[in-house]
Amino acid sequence: MMLKNYNFPKKDARLYMSFMYVTFASLLVGGLMGLLQTLSRSGEFQLPFGINYYTILTVHGVILGLVLTTFFIVGFQFALMGKTVGLSDKQRKWAWIAFWTMLVGTIMAAVTILIGEANVLYTFYAPLRAHPAFYIGLALVIVGSWIAVFTNFRQLYVWKKANPGQKSPLLAFMVVINMAMWFIASLGVAISVLVLFIPWSLGYAATINVLLSRTLFWYFGHPLVYFWLLPAYMAWYAIIPKIIGGKLFSDSLARMAFILLLLFSIPVGFHHQLTEPGIDPTWKFIQVVLTFMVVIPSLMTAFSIFATFETTGRRLGHKGLFGWFKNLPWGDVRFFAPFVGMVAFIPGGAGGIVNASHQMNSLIHNTIWVTGHFHLTIATTVILTYFGIAYWLVPHLTGRRLTPRLNKLGIIQTIIWTVGMTIMSTSMHIQGLLGGPRRSDFSNYAGGEQVQTWISYQLAQAVGGTILFIGILLMIYIFIQLAFFAPKGVQEFPIAEEEVDAEPTPKILENWYLWIGITIALILFAYTIPMIDIIKHSPPGSLPFDWPIGRS
Ligand code: HAS
């Protein structure tokens, strides 16, 4: 049974909107920091009041990469669960507890960064050390998200009990996969924060095990990028087909792609550490192979989206080789913004494959190429899809309508974003290939010819960054309109249906014991021996406990 045709009760809508308010407030703050950064790196502008470059870089990364994403994802996923399997009073209470825990944690971390006590960037690599409140704040954000995880699990469980033998709604299944991945992955960062960083920042431990902390971070850090991506895939698989007037391409294929992402997204963290000493090259190689496995579900996604576009267009009667393409709803921002996101993922994904290719990684690692890569993936593919979702989700929650004027502004916003990001990300990729380092502001230092060449690319990035900031202001305007001022009305919550003659989905795809079991087995295979090695060879005093095997 699907509950999608009922409108959310006010109590539920208020909950989901609270997550959206934090999302768009974060967009404004984080975006402003991005603008300041690109201006500062252009060499044409000095940061006012002696503000430290690393303070704004940390605010930018933490607020956009960790806060905006997590609040949007948790809020959107709660809305999807509410729509497909329902939300009880008790579950709503837990969802609010999740929200407030995450918000308190965010405020704690944000304050420490803003007062300059946590210039440690969003990866908070040791031996950079922040105020303990920064790590405690991050731990609270994670704990809050875990409350959301178990509430979502419970929502599906209760629905299953009430609907014995029925397959779960596709979107609810996808949410549970994403939350299972998030929970398993965030255990790594939680251990690192609780066992290594907090005791060290409080002064209880004299030193910290740098390699162990980085390894635990990247055990979490790569699935983190899929935690951002999967809600976009939810929209591509199960929402966009409805918007373009079509049906689900294949329920089974969509579930299989999500399962593969769960299996292969975690045991691959070493591809961020390919240049690091202390990890046996054999294990790096194994994780590179697993990284290539995680590309497969994205290729499946590309295939099935193309197929959805074509079959829908042909069914609607559009003739010729490309008639189906020409007649896609280009004027509908709910489709147009995510579509541009999909196109950006073609070079974004190709760049990821370059990064993952062991030898090529040594060319681009720690260069601004990597920054270019993630501005295409998270800051274009994912964010434009989130915007595409917000255009219908926000008015649906506030009982308003996406008017033709706001729709047009959304199209303009998407074009501004595309232009700004093309300039900024392309120049980052080129500067990276010329060896330009990431995370450094050398624009005020005299340098040779090479530094001058890098700075000329940074000037282009400032132009792109300024255009993007205009895009952010426009998006905030549209959000405020949709939240408070657009005319009252009914906005559809689009969920695609299956073909009437669709093949039944194999039951095995919902065998959670099997998939979680394989996930854990793969993680144990990819991490156990290298972790034992790392701990066994750690420097004296760098661990808060005695290691029974003894150091060599
Ligand atoms: Fe990545 C670094 C490898 C995907 C984000 N990545 C990063 C960092 C971030 C990030 C934030 O192996 C920096 C971390 C830091 O601060 O150090 N990445 C990959 C690989 C993939 C990948 C193999 N990354 C992402 C996604 C991200 C993201 C997604 C965010 C959401 N990445 C790396 C590696 C590094 C890295 C190394 C470390 C580099 C270093 O040395 O530091 C793959 O998942 C990509 C697979 C994707 C595809 C594309 C499929 C295309 C689709 C679109 C279809 C379009 C249609 C429309 C249908 C194969 C699905 C078309 C219509 C038309 C008409 C054209």
* Axis-axis angle for helices 89-114, 53-60 (nearest 10): 170
Residue 6: per-residue pLDDT: 56
The answer to whether 73 and 228 are in contact (CB under 8 A) is yes
- Could you list the mean pLDDT of each consecutive 10-residue stretch along the chain, which spans 552 residues? 63 97 98 94 86 93 96 98 97 98 97 94 94 96 97 98 95 98 96 94 90 96 97 98 96 98 96 94 95 96 95 92 93 98 98 95 96 98 98 97 98 98 98 94 78 92 97 98 96 94 92 97 96 86 59 46
Query: What stretch of H or E contains 459?
Result: helix 449-480
Distance 293 CA to ligand 1 centre (A): 13
Residue 4: per-residue pLDDT: 46
CATH number at residue 397: 1.20.210.10
Distance 254 CA to ligand 1 centre (A): 19
Residue located nearest, by CA, to atom 64 of ligand 1 = 343
The answer to whether 370 and 425 are in contact (CB under 8 A) is no
Does residue 1 sit within a domain?
no
The preferred substitution site among 286, 298, 381, 433 for testing ligand 1, maximizing ligand atoms within 8 Å of CB, is: 298
Residue 543: per-residue pLDDT: 67
Does residue 267 sit within a domain?
yes
The length of the chain in residues reads: 552
Distance 228 CA to ligand 1 centre (A): 11
The answer to whether 339 and 411 are in contact (CB under 8 A) is no
User: Which residues line ligand 1 at a C-beta cut-off of 6 Å?
Assistant: 123, 225, 228-229, 271-272, 291, 294-295, 298-299, 301-302, 305-306, 342-343, 345-346, 349, 352-353, 355-356, 361, 365, 370, 373-374, 377-378, 382
Domain count, the chain: 1
Does residue 551 sit within a domain?
no
Does residue 2 sit within a domain?
no
Neighbours of 506 (CB within 10 A): 12
List active site positions. Answer: 222, 226, 373-375, 438-439
Closest atom of ligand 1 to 291 CA is 23
| Residue appearing with tokens 């934090």 | 22
- The closest alpha carbon to 105, from 77, 151, 70, 156, belongs to 70
Residue located nearest, by CA, to atom 34 of ligand 1 = 355
Helix, strand, coil % in the chain, rounded to nearest 5: 75, 0, 25
Does residue 203 sit within a domain?
yes
Token pair recorded at residue 501: 């003659």
Distance 353 CA to ligand 1 centre (A): 7
Distance 377 CA to ligand 1 centre (A): 6
Residues with Cβ within 8 Å of 390's Cβ and at least 6 positions away in sequence, in order, are: 20, 24, 479, 482
Distances from the Cα of 310 to the Cαs of 244, 300, 346, in angstroms?
11, 15, 18
Structural domain boundaries, residue 388: 10-546
Residues with Cβ within 8 Å of 202's Cβ and at least 6 positions away in sequence, in order, are: 132
- The closest alpha carbon to 26, from 68, 75, 59, 55, belongs to 68
Residue 541: per-residue pLDDT: 67
Residue 552: per-residue pLDDT: 44
DSSP state of 119: -
Neighbours of 293 (CB within 10 A): 15
Does residue 239 sit within a domain?
yes
Does residue 361 sit within a domain?
yes
d(CA 115, CA 349) in angstroms, rounded, equals: 37
The preferred substitution site among 374, 378, 386 for testing ligand 1, maximizing ligand atoms within 8 Å of CB, is: 374
